[in-house]
Amino acid sequence: MRLQLAAAGLAGLGVLGAAAPAAIADDRAEVSTALFAEQRDGGKGGLTVIHPQADFGIDLGRFVSLDASYAADAVSGATSVIYQVDAVSSATTFSDTRQEGTLGIGFHGRRSRINFSATLGTERDYLSHALGGSASIDLPGRNTTIALAYSHSFDQVCDKDNGMLSPQEAKALTGADPCDKSSGILGKDRPGTTLWRDLSIDTAQVTLTQNLSPTMNLQVAGFGQVLEGFQSNPYRRVRVGQNSPKEHIPSTRDRWSLSARLNRYLPRLHGAAHFDARFYDDTWGVVGGDVELGYSQYIGKNLLFRLHARVYQQTAAKFFKDAFYYQTLSTAGEYFTGDRELSPVRNANLGGKLTLITLGGDKPVWGLFDKLQVNVKADILMLAVLPADSLADNPMGIDKQFIYGNSLLDAVILQLGLSGNY
Amino acid sequence: MRAIILAILLLAAAAPLAGCGRQAVRAAEKEFLADQVMVFDDDPQESSSDDHIRANREGAAGGHGAGGGGCGCN
């Protein structure tokens, strides 16, 4: 469940991504593993996520392609039990595993392609079933590409059966509670103990890619998503007055974003500059945006080095409060949450990626590949949690309401990948 | 229903942009546009991994396209 937000938020994106990979005209295989390590306070260590992925695609003749992908998350480390003024003292440890598989089929003509895919994701307390489709077409002149994508995800979340208790009395799920499944892919209720709650996610995207000149192209994208159903973290508790009920958040969330990306090739330098900006808004009151700059540089014929830097900032959800105010003034309405993703936050990351490119020429690489690439990527992430309410009237401050630490360096990401076209 | 309306609105917003640049770049001028550094999301696993991490750290989501963009070089 601690992974469920990623699954929920990305269920649509994952399907869309699988349904419309970058246009590759031949059989391909790619495997990678990412390591995410975040520091956390409370003396229980940090948080570690290992994220392996594998994608395979084959062309069946000229017009049909098949794709299969697999991804997993192995998560272990520290988490807090209760969102309160001092969440650090309640730190505990957990571990979880999520697995996800996608199958896709694509049909492509000279200037168009259409893809369909199905995704199944499973973890102890979260199940995801998604169907998606996408279509793209190159307009006459082949300088403009329009792509549309849509997916629907039927998800289920394991939750404590609280019967007729009010939200202010509801108990949270614990790791000891059973989350039974039928055939491993459907939730099975255990009345009086645990229930599986539904969450449906509809995601639509439209993308326009435009060649602006022989050295510059632009991509503009619009994204819309409607989430309907259970979206709380069933484990998370919030100190409200003297009680610590399970968090309670709205069942409907409509979100949208617009983004623009620009690439500029620099022939004299044998490199390229990249610019990316995005605006985001939703019905929970979260407004965010990010800007990313990048630069790619070839070193000789076989090495490609890329640097990138990104900053992001968001406002808080309307019902989010700093822990002190939930504890002393209660909630501002029906809802209450201790989710950092719904708090005002600013973060930045800086990283680099080195790619070794080997072209087969007349003789295939390793006897199989026309092109083989090895990627090594490293990122550092910085985080600043901002106050949602008045700090002047908050004698306890906000430094301990999350367990994510207060140092400038928040997390590191390392990724190693191998991809081949054959 | 709201999702369908949203999709139609997004399409309507992007459609006017599609008419520009039919002659922006001739086929013979697409050497640089065909380079992998000019392809949006040329490493799908990296993009997927980045989105996954951001979804666990940020309230915002989406907005990085539905794929399918290319240089029209083939």
- The per-residue pLDDT for range A255-288, each reduced to its tens digit, is 999 999 999 999 999 999 999 999 999 999 999 9
Chain A residues in contact with B20 by the CB 8 A cut-off are: 144, 210
| Minimal Cβ distance to B51: which of A13, A140, A213 | A13
Chain A residues in contact with B9 by the CB 8 A cut-off are: 224
- Mean pLDDT computed over A13-31: 55
What is the band of A184 on the pLDDT scale with cuts at 50, 70, 90? confident
Q: How far apart are CA A99 and CA A54, in angstroms?
A: 12
Q: How many residues does chain A have?
A: 422
- Residue A54 contacts residue A28 (beta carbons within 8 Å): no
Interchain contact A50–B (C-beta under 8 A): no
Q: How many residues does chain B have?
A: 74
Q: How far is B36 from chain A (nearest CA, A)?
A: 10
- Residue A34 contacts residue A51 (beta carbons within 8 Å): yes
- Give the distance, in angstroms, between the CA of residue A379 and the centroid of all CA atoms in the same chain: 16
* Per-residue tokens: A409: 């360096």
- Residue A36 contacts residue A59 (beta carbons within 8 Å): no
| Minimal Cβ distance to A204: which of B10, B53, B69 | B10
What integer pLDDT is reported at residue B9 of this predicted model? 61
Q: How far is B16 from chain A (nearest CA, A)?
A: 10
Chain B residues in contact with A265 by the CB 8 A cut-off are: 32-33, 35, 37-38
Q: How far apart are CA A231 and CA A8, in angstroms?
A: 8
| Minimal Cβ distance to B66: which of A134, A353, A381 | A134
Q: Give the torsion through C-alpha atoms of A336, A342, A345, A351, to 10 deg.
A: 150
- pLDDT of residue A186 exceeding 90: yes
Could you identify the residue written with the tokens 């990313």? Answer: A292
Q: How far is A225 from chain B (nearest CA, A)?
A: 7
pLDDT tens digits, one per residue of A204-252? 999 999 999 999 999 999 999 999 999 999 999 999 988 999 999 999 9
pLDDT tens digits, one per residue of A287-302? 999 999 999 999 998 9
3-state secondary structure of B17: helix
Interchain contact A101–B (C-beta under 8 A): no
Query: Using CB atoms within 10 A of its CB, is residue A265 exposed (0-12), middle (13-18) or buried (19+)?
Result: buried
- Residue A69 contacts residue A102 (beta carbons within 8 Å): yes
Q: Considering Cα of A315, then A318, then A319, then A323, what sign does the dihedral take? A: positive
3-state secondary structure of A364: coil
- Mean pLDDT computed over A146-157: 95
Interchain contact A20–B (C-beta under 8 A): yes
What is the band of A44 on the pLDDT scale with cuts at 50, 70, 90? confident
This complex has an ipTM of: 0.85
Interchain contact A32–B (C-beta under 8 A): yes
pLDDT tens digits, one per residue of B9-56? 655 655 555 555 556 799 899 999 999 999 998 888 888 888 888 888
